[in-house]
Amino acid sequence: MALTFHMVDVFGAGLLSGNPLAVVTGADDLPTDEMQRLTRWFNLSETAFLLPPTHPEADYRVRIFTLDREMPFAGHPTLGSCHAWLSTGRMAKNEAEIIQECGAGLVPIQRDHGRLSFAAPPLIRSGAPTQDELASARRLLGIEARDTLDAAWIDNGPGWLGIRLASAAKVLSLNPIRSWPGRIDVGVIGPHAKGGDAAFEVRAFFSDHLGAIVEDPVTGSLNASMAQWLFAAGAVEDDYVAAQGTRLGRHGRIYLTRDEAGQIWIGGKTCTHVEGRLHGV
């Protein structure tokens, strides 16, 4: 079976500066275990598989895999998959929005200002963490209780626990431990000084299938739930731009907007850098 694929840079503010995504097409008959095997071979944070929709309102369906599991939803695979789908000349059923079907349901995507933006999905877990959960996150990050301004579960699929710090400088100074005995997903955010091109600095850390702690370059799902948290808590009132990937040498920029109905949208630039065919899969 020959499959086609696109390597898409998502959320990058410049050339090769965001989070890369492999988008595989023509995999309608590929078994789940083969999708997982191919994902591990690409060795990116996620690989997405474009498939025909099963819901009548959807334009396409996507299955999203990390190195060790299938995800119901993830942010940069949502925008990267939509970009790849559009690049094949497909047309959405509705001119106003593209509708993606994934494990989390239907996700609307809009095109505006040369960017794609997805609607932040509802949280599946929220509220304050327990003292033990918060202590684990602090131990991972190497911070003290006095460093934490606020913390909350902001899980929209991957399992994020959000931590607010006092400044972007504190966020950038973090050097988390290198391994963890179980599953953990922690997102950290802190404000930049006014006058720059980004209002906040974001970093995302998670444990992989081998127990190593990985930092994600730019994370759409985390920025989505972070924005929901910040707006709900009154920590932000206006649209803003977040920076991510700085410590990794990336230049990610995520655009967070809230419309009149209160829906939060997560946008960024997308660009295909490689197209090709996979053989022998």
- Percentage with pLDDT > 70 across the chain: 100
Expressed as residue numbers, the domain containing 179 is 125-261
At residue 84, the 3 state secondary structure works out as: helix
Secondary structure tally for the chain: helices H, strands E: 5, 18
Give residue 192's pLDDT: 98
pLDDT tens, 88-141? 888 999 888 999 999 999 999 999 989 999 999 999 999 999 999 999 999 999
Same domain, 180 and 115: no
Whole-angstrom distance, CA of residue 12 vs CA of residue 245: 9
- Kindly tell me if the per-residue pLDDT of 1 is higher than 70: no
Same domain, 35 and 107: yes
Give residue 238's pLDDT: 97
Same domain, 107 and 146: no
Q: Residue 2 — pLDDT band, cuts 50, 70, 90?
A: confident
- Kindly tell me if the per-residue pLDDT of 281 is higher than 90: no
Same domain, 116 and 183: no
Give residue 96's pLDDT: 87
Same domain, 77 and 149: no
Same domain, 78 and 194: no
Q: Which residues lie below 8 Å from residue 16, measured CB to CB, with a gap of 6+?
A: 9, 273
Same domain, 110 and 151: no
Query: DSSP string of 176-239?
Result: --SB-SS--EEEEEEEPPTTSS-SEEEEEEEE-TTSBEEEES--HHHHHHHHHHHHHHTS--S-
Give residue 67's pLDDT: 92
Same domain, 115 and 190: no
- 3-state per-residue secondary structure call for 105-141: EEEEEEEECCEEEEECCCCCEEECCCHHHHHHHHHHH
Same domain, 247 and 272: no
Calculate mean pLDDT across residues 246-254: 97
Q: Which residues lie below 8 Å from residue 137, measured CB to CB, with a gap of 6+?
A: 129, 151, 161, 163, 184, 186
Q: Residue 280 — pLDDT band, cuts 50, 70, 90?
A: confident
pTM beyond cutoff 0.85: yes
Same domain, 75 and 147: no
Same domain, 168 and 103: no
Same domain, 161 and 47: no
**Residue 210, domain CATH:** 3.10.310.10
**Total domains present in the chain:** 2
